[in-house]
């Protein structure tokens, strides 16, 4: 479920995210480096609900959406389009020292509706001119619709958020839609997983994959020296190869190779493992 990420253009989505409801500033603009672990920990303990906007050189870069203190969605403008979730969160962290950040508080009820932009469920699209706003609102109320209504109009867009058929926040719907495409996207079935947890999980998976690659290269190098005895050799030294942190594993392998096979084999391994 990717909300409207695959439906609207990058420019429209960036415009919507840059103009998320900003009616209740929770802070002034501050240097990004001040948004440290202490401040994030306080936001979590306070159960802060809202979003953190990131700008760099007066340009909107991205944002993190928080629900009861937990980052449940993140977006970042990139050359390849709008990144979201763990990828955006990691890259915003890296860019944070160059950014200015500002916190905006939001009612908890609206946050799942905003998250629907990129982690929502079913998307329905219509020609905007064929939709009568007053009639649409009555129909949304009758069906208890929860999510976002997005108007895509050229390079810009506008969004309205609904919870159980009731419109949240400003602005009101217009008297008529003159042009463009209209998209209705429902809220996620459940609160999305924290992007912090997802980022940590992906980082662990990447580490495991890299550790497996390093061991695979080691097996190939050793097979040239000891033939079919390579598995026995590795099984007899489990303490050396049980490490899953690639950086630590490289050190263990390097020390073990040099002690048991000499500098030439170690150099061969370094070249083939590309480190």
201-250: per-residue pLDDT in tens? 656 666 777 777 888 888 888 888 877 777 777 777 776 677 777 788 88
Q: Taken in order 97, 98, 104, 110, is the CA torsion positive or negative?
A: negative
Preceding amide of 16 cis, omega within 30: no
Mean pLDDT for the chain overall: 84
pLDDT exceeds 80 at position 57: yes
Q: What is the pLDDT of residue 197?
A: 65
Q: What count of other Cβ atoms lies within 10 Å of the Cβ of residue 157?
A: 23
Confidence band of 199 (pLDDT split at 50, 70, 90): low
Where is pLDDT greater, at 232 or 270?
A: 270
Where is pLDDT greater, at 131 or 169?
A: 131
Find the mean pLDDT for residues 78-86: 84
Max intra-chain CA distance, the chain: 80
Where is pLDDT greater, at 64 or 194?
A: 64
CA distance linking residue 54 with residue 62, whole number of Å: 5
Inter-CA distances, 163 with 103, 112, 114, 142, Å: 23, 9, 11, 12
Q: What is the 3-state secondary structure (H, E, C) of 190-234?
A: CCCCCHHHHHHHHHHHHHHHHHHHHHHHHHHHHHHHHHHHHHHHH
Could you tell me how far CA 27 lies from the centroid of its own chain?
Answer: 23
Predicted model pTM = 0.69
Phi, psi at 157, each rounded to 5°? -155, 175
Residue percentage of the chain with pLDDT more than 90 = 20
């Amino acid at each position: 479920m990717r909300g409207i990420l695959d439906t609207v253009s990058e420019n429209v989505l960036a415009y919507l995210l840059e103009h998320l409801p900003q009616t209740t500033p929770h802070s002034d603009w501050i240097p990004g480096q001040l948004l440290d672990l202490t401040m994030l920990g306080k936001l979590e303990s306070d159960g802060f609900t809202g979003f953190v906007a990131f700008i760099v050189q007066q340009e909107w870069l991205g944002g993190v959406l928080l629900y009861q203190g937990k980052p449940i969605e993140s977006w970042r403008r990139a050359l390849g389009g709008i990144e979201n979730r763990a990828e955006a969160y990691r890259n915003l962290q890296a860019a944070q020292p160059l950014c200015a950040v500002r916190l905006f508080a939001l009612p908890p009820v609206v946050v799942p509706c905003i998250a629907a932009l990129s982690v929502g469920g079913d998307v329905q699209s219509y020609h905007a001119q064929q939709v009568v706003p007053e009639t649409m609102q009555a129909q949304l109320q009758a069906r208890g619709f929860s999510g976002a209504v997005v108007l895509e109009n050229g390079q810009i867009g506008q969004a309205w958020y609904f919870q159980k058929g009731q419109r949240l926040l400003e602005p009101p719907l217009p008297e008529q839609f003159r042009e463009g495409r209209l998209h209705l996207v429902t809220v996620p079935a459940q609160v999305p997983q924290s992007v912090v947890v997802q980022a940590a999980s992906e980082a662990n998976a990447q580490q495991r994959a890299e550790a497996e690659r390093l061991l695979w290269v080691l097996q190939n190098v050793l097979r040239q020296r000891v033939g079919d005895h390579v598995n026995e050799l590795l099984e007899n030294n489990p303490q050396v190869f049980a490490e899953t942190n690639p950086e630590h594993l490289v050190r263990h392998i390097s020390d073990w190779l040099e002690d048991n096979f000499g500098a030439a084999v170690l150099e061969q391994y370094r070249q083939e493992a590309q480190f």
